[in-house]
Structure formats: C-alpha cells, structure tokens
C-alpha cells in the first residue's frame, strides 16, 4: 500500500524547499522502492489568505490520516497585523496539539566539510554528532498560569511547571530508543537541585534506563549542560530534557553547526509525526530560488527513518547531502571563494544525482 506523505509548504521559502525535498524523496523512492505518495495542503499565512484560518480542518484531517508530514515554514511580515489567534505561527502550534507531537528531535551534526562555518573553534566542534530530544507538549509551557493577580499589595503573575510520570516515561523511552540506534549514551538534563519536577524527571528517567542496559545514562544540571555544549560538545550523543530547557538548549546547540539552513527536525507524534527544517520562512529571500534546501531534505530523511523505518533510504539521502557539499556545491548562505555556486534547483539536482 502507498505510504501517504502530506506536504505542507506554508509561506515564504516553504514552497521552494519542500519542492526540493520531494524531488529527493522521489529519487530515493525510485531507488529503494518505497511506494510514496504526496498530497499537498495549506497552512500558515497562505491558508489564512485563502480560508481565513492558518490551520484549515482539512489540513489537520489529512495530516492525521497520513504516514508522515513534511512541513516547510510559516510566517512573514505580511501577516503582522492579523489578529493574534489567526497568525501563521498558530498553524504549527495547532498541528503540535492536534497530532499529539510530544517530542522534538533536533540532530546537530558538524560534518568535516562544514566545520569552518561554526562560530566556535574547529577543534571544539569537529566531530559533533548529537540529538536533542525535547519534551514538547508538557511542562511550564502548558501548565496553569495567571497573567495578573493582586497579592500582598503587589501585582504578580505565575506559570506552573508540572510533569507526570507517564509524560516523562514516554520521552525517556524515545531518548533511549534513539540512543540505541546511535552511540548508546543518554544525557538527561534537569535542575533537580532546585525543582521538584526535575527530581521526578530524574527518578523516572533512571527507572526507564533499567530497561536499556546497553545504553549509558548521565545526568547534568541544565546550567552545566549549557556550558558543556559550548566547551566540549563532542561528549554528547542523545540529550533528553523537558520543554523549557529543551527550547533553550536546542537553539544553543543549533549554533554549533554554523548554518541555520542545514538543520532538520522531527516532531514525534502519538500517531503521525511531522518533519521540518529548524529555520523560518525567510521572507527576505523568498521567491528568489536561492534558499538552502538541505535542512528540509534532511528532515525528509528523518521522515523515512522515524515514520517509515526506511533506514537505508534515509542514510542514502544524508550521505548524498554530505557528498554534494564535499564536492564543493554551496547555496549563497554558505558560499565562499573557491566553491561552486548553487541555487536551490542546482543544489537539489546534485543531491538527487548522489542519492
Ligand atoms: P521565524 O520567526 O519563522 O523563525 P525568522 O525571520 O526569525 O523567522 P528565519 O526565517 O529562519 O528566521 O530567517 C533567519 C535568517 O536566516 C534570514 O536572513 C534568512 O534569509 C536566513 N535563512 C533561513 N533559512 C534559510 C535557508 N534555508 N537558506 C538560506 N537562508 C536561510
Ligand atoms: Mg525566528
């Protein structure tokens, strides 16, 4: 039976980069016999313009019924004055909720070819290959809150952090499963010297780890982890953490690679998962055909790995991206003297050739 992929290009460079990733998927399909089919749906500002909502019900329904969602990007200043509840960004938040996307995986890999693009010293980032597994629908971002109340004669606001054992178990299992496919090490990150939620987190992760005797477990406080990411990032394999800490650490880790256009992500859901580059819709370069498609192509590779369990095809796409870069092709965001200039189409073509 055909594996149904729902493609949601979104706004800005979203169409260019998802077109590119679909071309690469088609080549992988031809080579590995994956039986993929593609259906396109609107979301974001584009959907708002057509239907008056950034996330039409038919997009939600199609995403839910699919085997995996390939998402471009949403947003742009065109919609700055739209009412807050109808902003393009609401599309991705809504999809997280409707698909139950409970975990966000962000791999950060610094290939030898691109080590010079990192803002950190080459000897620090050479060989970095880690994944941040962030809990995505719990913790302080989804706890009770109070915007404003009077107490003891002062105005105050509060946000409540809370985690349940099943919520932590689910994310911890995913982290250990991910580590099993990699170098077998999980670093759980919390602030258990201060926070009750972190103490429950640490206890629960330790309990889950008993089911994975071949995976090593380490614990770090979040402040130390932030420092270690900048000092010695090669020590990490899989970092497992909550929603708030993961939000901050994943942006910090993304800097290691030096180029936002290269980085993929996966959001793992209860039934369907969603795959998107970490960058936004880049309105400043939209429509020019110069966006770096690699973040989206690597997201498509993650779709093959995590949703369809097609490891060989996923690896072939990742290797093809590495090879295209090693052969000297660079989109404008990465171009330097001595390299071959490639627009989105050429970059796509040379990657397709190498799959
Ligand atoms: P958002 O709020 O959606 O995160 P943003 O404006 O904060 O949007 P991006 O859209 O990611 O962030 O753009 C940040 C910068 O990076 C812009 O200058 C953009 O052109 C550049 N950029 C982002 N993605 C790419 C890409 N795939 N290829 C080339 N340049 C990119
Ligand atoms: Mg941004």
Confidence (pLDDT) at 258: 80
Q: What's the rounded Cα separation, in Å, for the pair 110 and 129?
A: 6
For the residues 179-203, what does the mean pLDDT come to?
97
Q: CA 204, CA 207: separation in Å to the nearest integer?
A: 5
Q: Which of 354, 349, 255 is nearest to 293 (CA)?
A: 349
pLDDT score of 1: 77
pLDDT in tens, 210-233: 999 999 999 999 999 999 999 999
Which tokens is 122 given?
């080459």
Per-residue pLDDT tens over the stretch 92-131: 989 998 999 999 999 999 988 888 888 899 999 999 999 9
User: Rounded to the nearest 5 degrees, what angle is found at the Cα of 87, between the Cα atoms of 306 and 261?
Assistant: 45
What was the pLDDT predicted at 116?
Answer: 86
What is the residue-wise DSSP string for 108-135?
Answer: EE--GGGGGGSSS-HHHHTT-EEEEEEE
Query: Rounded to whole angstroms, how far apart are CA atoms 112 and 133?
Result: 24
Q: How many structural domains is the chain composed of?
A: 2
Which domain range does residue 52 map to?
Answer: 1-100+269-355
CA 103, CA 95: separation in Å to the nearest integer?
Answer: 13
- At which of 263, 298, 315 does a domain end? 263
Distance CA 307, CA 269 (A): 10
CA angle 322, 326, 331 (to 5 degrees): 80
Ligand 1, residue 293: give the atom nearest the CA. 27
**Contact (Cβ atoms closer than 8 angstroms) between residue 331 and residue 291:** yes
One domain, residues 117 and 238: yes
Interatomic CA distance for residues 38 and 29, integer angstroms: 12
Q: Tell whether 110 and 198 lie within a shared domain.
A: yes
**Span 303-329, average pLDDT:** 96
Beta 145-151 vs 154-159: how paired, if at all?
A: antiparallel
Does 280 sit in the ligand 1 pocket, CB within 6 Å? yes
Is 251 annotated in some ligand binding site? Answer: yes
Pocket test for ligand 1, best of 19, 279, 297 (most atoms within 8 A of CB): 279
334 in any annotated domain: yes
User: Which residue's structure tokens are 């700055």?
Assistant: 80
Is 151 within a domain?
Answer: no
pLDDT bin (cut points 50, 70, 90) of residue 242 is very high
218 assigned binding-site residue:
no
Together in a domain, 252 and 291: no
The answer on 113 and 88 residing in a single domain is: no
Q: If you measure from the C-alpha of residue 77 to the centroid of ligand 1, how many angstroms do you get, rounded to a whole number? A: 13
Whether 176 and 256 share a structural domain: yes
pTM for the model: 0.93
Residue 22 confidence (pLDDT): 98
pLDDT tens for 133-189 read 999 999 999 999 999 999 999 999 999 999 999 999 999 999 999 999 999 999 999
Give the number of other CB atoms < 10 A from CB of residue 39.
Answer: 13
Closest residue by Cα to atom 31, ligand 1, is 261
User: 282 CA distance to ligand 1 centroid (A)?
Assistant: 4
Q: Which ligand is nearest to the CA of 73?
A: 1
pLDDT-based confidence at 345, cuts 50/70/90? very high
């Amino acid at each position: 039976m055909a594996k149904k992929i729902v493609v949601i290009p979104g706004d800005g460079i979203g169409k260019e980069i998802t077109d590119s990733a679909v071309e690469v998927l088609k080549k992988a399909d031809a080579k590995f016999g994956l039986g993929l089919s593609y259906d396109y749906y609107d979301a974001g500002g584009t959907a708002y313009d057509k239907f008056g909502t950034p996330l039409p019900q038919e997009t939600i329904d199609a995403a839910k019924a699919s085997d995996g969602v390939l998402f471009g990007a949403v947003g742009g200043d065109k919609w700055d004055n739209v009412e807050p509840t109808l902003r393009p960004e609401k599309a991705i938040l809504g999809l997280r909720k409707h698909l139950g996307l409970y975990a966000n995986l962000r791999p950060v890999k610094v290939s030898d070819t691109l080590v010079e693009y990192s803002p950190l010293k080459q000897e620090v980032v050479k060989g970095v290959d880690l994944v941040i597994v962030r809990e995505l629908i719990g913790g302080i971002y989804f706890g009770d809150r109070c915007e404003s109340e009077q107490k003891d004669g002062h105005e105050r606001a509060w946000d409540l952090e809370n985690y349940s054992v099943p919520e932590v178990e689910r994310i911890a299992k995913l982290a250990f499963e991910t580590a099993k496919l990699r170098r077998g090490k999980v670093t759980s990150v919390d602030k258990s010297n201060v926070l009750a939620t972190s103490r429950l987190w640490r206890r629960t992760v330790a309990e889950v780890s008993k089911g994975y005797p071949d995976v090593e477990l380490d614990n770090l406080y979040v402040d130390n982890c932030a420092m270690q990411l900048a000092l010695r990032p090669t020590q990490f394999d899989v970092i497992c953490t909550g929603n708030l800490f993961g939000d901050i650490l994943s942006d910090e880790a993304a800097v290691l690679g030096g180029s936002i256009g290269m980085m993929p992500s996966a959001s793992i859901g209860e039934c369907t998962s969603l795959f998107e580059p970490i960058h936004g819709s880049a309105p400043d370069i939209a429509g020019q055909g110069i966006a770096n498609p690699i973040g989206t192509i690597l997201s498509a590779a993650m779709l093959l790995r995590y949703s369809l369990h097609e490891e060989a095809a996923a690896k072939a796409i990742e290797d093809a991206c590495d090879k295209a870069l090693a052969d000297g092709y660079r989109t404008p965001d990465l171009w330097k003297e001595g390299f071959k200039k490639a627009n989105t189409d050429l970059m796509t073509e040379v990657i397709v050739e190498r799959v």
